[in-house]
Amino acid sequence: MNRARRRFDIWTNISLLIFLFYIVFLALPLFTLLIKSFYNGTTGDFSLAYFVKFFSKPYYLNALFNSIKVTICVTLLAAVIATPLAYIMATVKIRGNSTIRILILISSMSAPFIGAYSWILLLGRNGVITKFVKSVFGFTMPDIYGFGGILLVLTLQMVPLIFMYVSGALKSVDQSLMEAAESMGYKGISKMRKVLLPLITPTLLAGGLLVFMRALADFGTPMLIGEGYRTVPVLIFNEFISEVGGDDGFAAAISVIVVIFATAVFLLQKSVSNRKSYTMSALNPIEAKSKKGIGNVLAHIVIYLYTLLALLPQLYVIYTSFLKTSGRIFVKGYSLDSYREAFDSIGSAIQNTFVLAISSLIIIILLAVLIAYVTVRRKNALTNTLDIFTMFPYIVPGSILGIALLVTFNHKPLVISGTAIIIIVSFVIRRLPYTIRSSAAILHQINGGIEEAAISLGASQMKTFFKITLPMMIAGVVSGAILSWVTIITELSTSIILYTAKTKTVTVAIYTEVIRGNYGVAAALSTILTVITVVSLLIFLKLTGQKEISM
């Protein structure tokens, strides 16, 4: 077989089709957004007016500055908290180790704004803890609204991500490396600083990037708890949604600035981490040992306390969902009223969520498997470009993608705004990377010789793929698909822009109920969402026999 023939087989057609999908639903919308940002909305002329407006008014620049400040603080704080936690879990035998890991995972799986509103219920002006402190100790606690609140909520939300990354990296560090360091006289802190920290640095950078992008893009948290503290996603949302004085073009311009900033950070991270990467595989991984005395007690206290803190917002939401309500106010006693009301008024949201999420998931699995295959096994210019396309959702905040899709597809030739299709497209584009990554990872582990063996035995390319490659990939595909699933059902920032009454999801419903102050219903819906999430995760853990999820 010569090269020219290999280049044009069935996989080329598949690559081209997927490529087309990305051109239409990712490249085109982002390009439309870019164009929009350079044209005056009223006169239709080319102009830099939006950018001038953004950079000349402190009001807008402050929002950008606020976003950067929040994002950097959250990323650093999450890394500083998560790394020692992961180290303790890796080296000290903690009672209930695997349960703790699952709980930490669950704490990261809810939509961040649910945490925000729960913390408002706890520490807000009328929060239970605030009131309790005031009545018992007679002083007013510091305000949770603004920068501090956003930092608290987002950090707690992001710590589990870095925790999981670092835990994975620690597993690949060979115990003998630590012993070698000790034999050369390094102990305690100096051992960690000189050996362990450099080894996990690439992982920290990867986890840090993920956290950075999420914190930068998060819209719900600053919206609820930020009050006067304005960040860019809030700004974009208001500019785009608000009916008075809102301006699509200006929203587009801000989006362009954010995407450029995010891309710069992304490229910076890549260039740093490329220089610092190692491949390690541990023959004797670091083992958690039973410690004695004060160290053991301290380790347990730290881990338990953190887990409790991370789960507190969700637990409190679940608790409030069973409180009796009168109108919008919680009153004494317990009842299932909130659930009744949730099902009565917005029961369709639950159905919508399932229909939209399942449809998206089917497409995601199909695309991810094919994309993983062509990018791993058929490397060429086309599939390399495809690989870059699939990374875009990491960089482009959800609300921006939502706006881009909306401004592109609300006019001919393709009008899908307001339909379920546009929501499914957004879910697919945004949540595809999880499944692609896990599918590609497992494909890297499958020896290419196995496929050649099948071909040498006379199987066609398609038969080889479906009978040999795919069955071997299943475990990886499933683990990524569950992550995609969980992140779809908790998705807010894109669907808040794209939804209509007919396509309202549970997450959007929770958000709107919280905004209306309808905390009882919001709590009931959140609890339902949490239950779905936890059940999904447990199925995943059961299916894969794993104790944690690697992202």
CA dihedral 14, 18, 21, 22 (to 10 degrees): -150
Scanning 1-9, 137-145, 197-205, 316-324 for contacts with other proteins by CB under 8 A, the matching segment is 1-9
Could you tell me how many residues of this chain bind other proteins (CB under 8 A)?
Answer: 22
Scanning 33-41, 71-79, 335-343, 445-453 for contacts with other proteins by CB under 8 A, the matching segment is 445-453
Q: Which is nearer to other proteins, 142 or 458 (CB)?
A: 458
Q: Which is nearer to other proteins, 7 or 276 (CB)?
A: 7
List binders of other proteins among 461-520 (CB under 8 A).
Answer: 463, 467-468, 471-472
φ, ψ for residue 118, nearest 5 deg: -70, -40
Question: CA of 131: how far to CAs of 114, 139, 224, 318, 395, in Å?
Answer: 21, 10, 20, 20, 41
Question: Residue 42 interacts with other proteins (CB under 8 A)?
Answer: no
User: Which of 42, 457, 542, 545 lies at the binding interface for other proteins (CB under 8 A)?
Assistant: 457
Question: In angstroms, what is the minimal distance from the CB of 530 to other proteins?
Answer: 35
Contact 267, 205 (CB under 8 A): no
φ, ψ for residue 324, nearest 5 deg: -75, 140
User: Which of 52, 329, 331, 453 lies at the binding interface for other proteins (CB under 8 A)?
Assistant: 453
User: Which of 56, 263, 447, 546 lies at the binding interface for other proteins (CB under 8 A)?
Assistant: 447
Question: Residue 281 interacts with other proteins (CB under 8 A)?
Answer: no
The CA distance from 307 to 492, in Å, is: 25
User: Which of 143, 179, 182, 452 lies at the binding interface for other proteins (CB under 8 A)?
Assistant: 452
User: Which of 138, 185, 449, 545 lies at the binding interface for other proteins (CB under 8 A)?
Assistant: 449
Question: Residue 411 interacts with other proteins (CB under 8 A)?
Answer: no
The CA distance from 467 to 460, in Å, is: 10
Q: Which is nearer to other proteins, 128 or 459 (CB)?
A: 459
The CA distance from 316 to 526, in Å, is: 11
Q: Which is nearer to other proteins, 61 or 450 (CB)?
A: 450
Question: Residue 189 interacts with other proteins (CB under 8 A)?
Answer: no
The CA distance from 48 to 480, in Å, is: 42
Q: Which is nearer to other proteins, 193 or 467 (CB)?
A: 467
Q: Which is nearer to other proteins, 4 or 244 (CB)?
A: 4
Q: Which is nearer to other proteins, 2 or 290 (CB)?
A: 2
Question: In angstroms, what is the minimal distance from the CB of 13 to other proteins?
Answer: 17
- Residue 185: burial class (beta carbons within 10 Å; 0-12, 13-18, 19+): exposed
Q: Which is nearer to other proteins, 43 or 445 (CB)?
A: 445
Question: Residue 3 interacts with other proteins (CB under 8 A)?
Answer: yes
Start-to-end Cα distance in the chain: 39
53: alpha, beta or left? (left if phi > 0; alpha if psi -120 to 50): alpha
Q: Which is nearer to other proteins, 262 or 473 (CB)?
A: 473
Question: Residue 459 interacts with other proteins (CB under 8 A)?
Answer: yes
Question: Residue 44 interacts with other proteins (CB under 8 A)?
Answer: no
Tell me, rounded to whole angstroms, the distance of Cα 8 from its chain centroid: 37
User: Which of 458, 501, 542, 545 lies at the binding interface for other proteins (CB under 8 A)?
Assistant: 458
Q: Which residue type sits at 302?
A: V
Question: Residue 175 interacts with other proteins (CB under 8 A)?
Answer: no
φ, ψ for residue 92, nearest 5 deg: -110, 135
Q: Which residue type sits at 303?
A: I
Q: Which is nearer to other proteins, 5 or 542 (CB)?
A: 5
Beta bridge partners of 358: none
Question: Residue 254 interacts with other proteins (CB under 8 A)?
Answer: no
Q: Which residue type sits at 16?
A: L
Question: Residue 545 interacts with other proteins (CB under 8 A)?
Answer: no
φ, ψ for residue 85, nearest 5 deg: -60, -45
List binders of other proteins among 6-35 (CB under 8 A).
Answer: 6
Question: Residue 5 interacts with other proteins (CB under 8 A)?
Answer: yes
The CA distance from 336 to 324, in Å, is: 7
User: Which of 189, 244, 456, 542 lies at the binding interface for other proteins (CB under 8 A)?
Assistant: 456
User: Which of 192, 454, 488, 528 lies at the binding interface for other proteins (CB under 8 A)?
Assistant: 454
Q: Which is nearer to other proteins, 65 or 466 (CB)?
A: 466
Nearest to 374 by CA among 16, 25, 2: 16
Question: In angstroms, what is the minimal distance from the CB of 444 to other proteins?
Answer: 14
- Give Cβ neighbours of residue 285 (< 8 Å, ≥ 6 apart): 171, 172, 173, 174, 175
The CA distance from 113 to 63, in Å, is: 19
Scanning 404-412, 454-462, 503-511, 536-544 for contacts with other proteins by CB under 8 A, the matching segment is 454-462
Scanning 81-89, 349-357, 388-396, 455-463 for contacts with other proteins by CB under 8 A, the matching segment is 455-463
Question: Residue 381 interacts with other proteins (CB under 8 A)?
Answer: no
3-state secondary structure 190-242: HHHHHHHHHHHHHHHHHHHHHHHHHHHHCCHHHHHHCCCCCCHHHHHHHHHHC
Q: Which is nearer to other proteins, 17 or 462 (CB)?
A: 462
Nearest to 225 by CA among 118, 111, 141: 118
Question: Residue 444 interacts with other proteins (CB under 8 A)?
Answer: no
Question: Residue 450 interacts with other proteins (CB under 8 A)?
Answer: yes
Question: Residue 2 interacts with other proteins (CB under 8 A)?
Answer: yes
**CA angle (480, 481, 483) in 5-degree steps:** 65
Please name the helix (run of DSSP H) or strand (run of DSSP E) that holds residue 127, with its range, or none: none
Question: In angstroms, what is the minimal distance from the CB of 464 to other proteins?
Answer: 9
Question: In angstroms, what is the minimal distance from the CB of 452 to other proteins?
Answer: 6
Q: Which residues bind other proteins (CB under 8 A)?
A: 1-3, 5-6, 447, 449-450, 452-460, 463, 467-468, 471-472
